[in-house]
Amino acid sequence: MKAATTFPEKRLDRLPPRVCAMVCRIETGNEDVQRLKMLGICVGRQIEVIKSGDPMIVRVFGSRLGLSASLAAHVWLEVCAPDHCALSETSKP
């Protein structure tokens, strides 16, 4: 039986541009969790950073969103394997 490859978790504010990742957890108060959910950022969702910084620009569900780095610091992601992610295919130049 082949073992699954796992990638280390990264905070959204530390994800470099053009890398696809999946939200695995959000560690913040209920108000910020609700704010993130309203933006489409929730567990199981794929995200790509378009521009790092503050505010950062992320792609979620095909839309670009501005997000403060302080809020993004509460979002933990698992980086997708380069050959196993639909977002990385659609975002290539």
pLDDT tens digits, residue range 34-80?
A: 999 999 999 999 999 999 999 999 999 889 999 999 999 999 999 88
For the ranges 2-16, 18-32, 45-59, which has the lowest average pLDDT? 2-16
Asked whether residue 58 is assigned to any structural domain, the reply reads: yes
Report CA torsion sign: 21, 47, 66, 90: positive
pTM for the complete prediction?
0.77
CATH number of the domain to which 21 belongs: 2.30.30.90
Asked whether residue 2 is assigned to any structural domain, the reply reads: no
Domain coverage including residue 22: 9-90
More confident position, 3 or 58: 58
Give how many domains the chain has, as a whole number.
Answer: 1
What span, in angstroms and rounded, lies between the C-alpha atoms of 32 and 28? 6
